[in-house]
Structure 1
Amino acid sequence: MAPSLSSTRAPPRARVPLQVRAAAAVAAKSSRTAAVPLPSQRVLDSCRTVAEHADQVRVGDAAAIDHAAHTILDGLVAGRYSTASWRAHPLHPQVADRHAAEFIFLLDLMNFSFWSDSDTLFTVTYRGIAYTGYWSLVAAINRARDEGIAITSAYRMATMLRETLQHVFRSDSETPISLFEERFEAIRQAGQVLLRRFGGSIVNLIKEARGSCQALIELVLQHFPTFDDRSTYKGKTVYLYKRVQILVADLWACFEGRGLGAFHDIDLVTMFADYRVPQGLVHLGLLDYSPALLAELHVGDLIPPGSATEVEIRTTSIWAVELVARRIKELLRKRTDLMETPMVNAILIDFYVWDYAKAHQDELAKIPIHRTRTIFY
């Protein structure tokens, strides 16, 4: 005779409060991922390893780091570099709202490869002013919105026609925007992911990170592979994450650390390794290129993405800025004359060096940039 159902049923389980179950789930997830470094720490750890064993690039000595730290600290104390600096440029969104977050997402989705093979740069004229480089992209987005093209909306991104994007990125010079097809593919895919996974809203993506820029970086890397900037050096993976880190930095700066830009762990973000900041770092004595590398750069040949040369330039830049940030923090601890201690992190130092390099282009002309055609910067 088969046993009755009642005789085999397990005793009723005690009802566990929802809060307890949620806490247990978080703890279990934390235990599973505890061994995985946060994304910005992955960048720092892997870049330090390369920087300490690089063949063609060296980080400046202690004296150079100290001198740069004092120079940059003076700028921070004077208030020339803070989160407020970001919105000081009239092309950047002037109101920190949902539309600004959408603008920033599209901006950093497209934030790469502005140098030209010729002497003539891709140029966008907006409200009577001709812009090149990074600012040509910002101007193009503003111009499109003025023309009634809702280019920052997820739906418009997902359904973007090639002809429409060609119109958005039309050049006012003979040089077209570089890597157009890659930009077209990235914008379509990103719009589709926003619609499918985040209800068509970048705000939902940001809120899912719950105030952690590291969680936001992981979400972006997981769902938007165009941001997954990594290389291999002597058989080991090197994480660089330029555009995804500048995405969270731009949100933080635009919102001045509040609202959608409130990240409790923003100081973990590293500098953003591109082709302009290394040039400024060499000028400041924070990087030292070997004679052979300098000769190669002066020739102007393309340096392949992922090559040892490119990886060394980018990783040493990240590590040099980290050392400067640490030195500035040491100096601040000794200062007793400040009414208010300025915020110091790799983001603001990156902003400083980038602005410095742009403002002193003629002076820095003798230091060639490395020419690498890539979607990552």
Structure 2
Amino acid sequence: MAPSLSSTRAPPRARAPAPALATASPSSSSRKTPALPLPSQRVLDSCCAVVEHAGHVRVGDAAAIERAAHTILDGLVAGRYSTASWRAHPLHPQVADRHAAEFIFLLDLMNFSFWSDSDTLYTVTYRGVAYTGYWSLVAAINRARDEGIVLTSAYRMATMSRETLRHVFRSDSETPISLPEERLEAIRHAGQVLLRRFGGSFVNLIKEARGSCQALIELVLQHFPTFDDRSTYMGKTVYLYKRVQILVADLWACFEGRGLGAFHDIDLVTMFADYRVPQGLVHLGLLEYSPALLAELCAGDMIPPGSATEVEIRAASIWAVELVARRIKELLREQTDLREVPMVNAILIDFYVWDYAKAHPDELAKIPIHRTRTIFY
């Protein structure tokens, strides 16, 4: 079932100039290897191509885009949703400094796979509050800090033992954290790279990007393969880059676009295709699943990572949010009474939909998440 995009597909976003990634060949100083598109543009281009051929998922039509744009914009305005919302949560760093940046890097190294095969979720109780999902990870890092275990130390990361990992991420329910070996490998490798290449601090990597989130994404992809989230669809590479893009988005939000979070090209970042936001997008009418896919999801069937179905869900989510972001920006230009609204981009829309889905479980109960066990989300 191929989606009809005649009324919803806007021309791809204009590409910002990309730095040349190769020098001229010795035999011809005028012959240069074409530069690759910037990372977030690779995501948009490849996801748009998936949407055009998708058989399991379709993006909502123009009317659905319009309704969702107004709904989300109203929510953003009413909640005064902005970068300041990120630090409003008590588990997130409350001071925007180098320690916060290193906390965010560690957090997004392990920001994946929080759903459970059973009805009991991995749970961390911190200061009397039980946390599940993403917040269980944040709570575990904070709990370790209170116990004197500084996980953001590059040396600690590079030399972490299985025993330390088990202790730090111990569960307060009968369900342990998923993919512990993959988490340990990611932490150790990251610590080794930070020590060998970046003077033991993620802050030095941020500084090397010189205020470009796209340059930072490229650096992270180059040195930390655990972030290189891509698939193949109909023989073509599809770039999804969930965790590396949310890494720069978290920095931007935590620092409110200043200091270590100041990126002149932050608007290029796309949404972060996981398993929770697509659920919210279906609720908003921005995604529609085929009857066969919906039956699979309702049955709790596993969707293999890299399968056509999984790629279509994620790619369509990215493209749907892109269309909504464009429409909201048009509304902000058209309606003078909304001109005081802070900047709106795909990042804030993603944050809003994710928060909405988590805050309204009863409304979304009939829309199943897709169950894919992977390190990428």
TM-score, normalization by structure 2 = 0.91
* Counterpart in the other structure of 2:253: 253
* Counterpart in the other structure of 1:113: 113
Q: Does 1:320 align with 2:320?
A: yes
Alignment of 1:213-292 (within 5 A): 213-292=213-292
Q: How far apart, CA to CA, are the structure 1 residues paired with 2:36 and 2:99?
A: 34
Alignment of 1:87-102 (within 5 A): 87-102=87-102
- Of the structure 1 ranges 114-123 and 66-75, higher mean CA displacement relative to structure 2 is found in 66-75
Q: How far apart, CA to CA, are the structure 2 residues paired with 1:358 and 1:147?
A: 29
SS in 2 for 1:337: helix
* Counterpart in the other structure of 1:166: 166
* Counterpart in the other structure of 2:142: 142
Q: How far apart, CA to CA, are the structure 1 residues paired with 2:283 and 2:174?
A: 31
Letter in 2 for 1:166: R
Letter in 2 for 1:267: D
Q: How far apart, CA to CA, are the structure 1 residues paired with 2:273 and 2:339?
A: 33
* Counterpart in the other structure of 1:7: none
Residue 339 (structure 1) shift: 5.7
* Counterpart in the other structure of 2:374: 374
Letter in 2 for 1:334: E
* Counterpart in the other structure of 1:43: 43
Q: How far apart, CA to CA, are the structure 2 residues paired with 1:221 and 1:268?
A: 17
* Counterpart in the other structure of 1:305: 305
Residue 52 (structure 1) shift: 1.5
Letter in 2 for 1:122: Y
Letter in 2 for 1:54: A
Compared CA separation, residues 28 and 127, structure 1 to 2 (3 A): closer
Letter in 2 for 1:327: R
Which protein is richer in helix relative to its size? 1
Mark the runs of 5 or more structure 2 residues left unpaired by the alignment. 1-18, 25-31
SS in 1 for 2:53: coil
Q: How far apart, CA to CA, are the structure 2 residues paired with 1:220 and 1:72?
A: 31
SS in 1 for 2:362: helix
Q: How far apart, CA to CA, are the structure 1 residues paired with 2:360 and 2:329?
A: 26
Structure possessing the higher radius of gyration over alpha carbons: 1
SS in 2 for 1:362: coil
* Counterpart in the other structure of 1:352: 352
Q: How far apart, CA to CA, are the structure 2 residues paired with 1:260 and 1:314?
A: 29
Compared CA separation, residues 159 and 231, structure 1 to 2 (3 A): same
Is the CA contact (8 Å cut-off) linking 1:43 and 1:241 kept in structure 2?
A: yes
SS in 2 for 1:136: helix
Letter in 1 for 2:57: V
Residue 287 (structure 1) shift: 0.1
Q: How far apart, CA to CA, are the structure 2 residues paired with 1:369 and 1:80?
A: 28
- Of the structure 1 ranges 33-42 and 141-150, higher mean CA displacement relative to structure 2 is found in 33-42
Deviations 1:211-257 (A, max 9, x none): 00000000000000000000000110000000000000000000000
Residue 153 (structure 1) shift: 1.1
Deviations 1:130-185 (A, max 9, x none): 00000000000000000000111111100111101100000000000000000001
Q: How far apart, CA to CA, are the structure 2 residues paired with 1:273 and 1:371?
A: 13
Letter in 1 for 2:82: S
Number of paired residues? 352
Is the CA contact (8 Å cut-off) linking 1:111 and 1:134 kept in structure 2?
A: yes
Is the CA contact (8 Å cut-off) linking 1:81 and 1:351 kept in structure 2?
A: no
Mark the runs of 5 or more structure 1 residues left unpaired by the alignment. 1-25
Residue 78 (structure 1) shift: 3.1
Q: How far apart, CA to CA, are the structure 1 residues paired with 2:364 and 2:80?
A: 21
Identity %: 89
Letter in 2 for 1:361: P
Is the CA contact (8 Å cut-off) linking 1:281 and 1:287 kept in structure 2?
A: yes
Q: How far apart, CA to CA, are the structure 2 residues paired with 1:308 and 1:329?
A: 32
SS in 2 for 1:364: coil
Residue 101 (structure 1) shift: 0.4
Q: How far apart, CA to CA, are the structure 2 residues paired with 1:280 and 1:150?
A: 35
Residue 363 (structure 1) shift: 1.4
Q: How far apart, CA to CA, are the structure 1 residues paired with 2:118 and 2:78?
A: 39
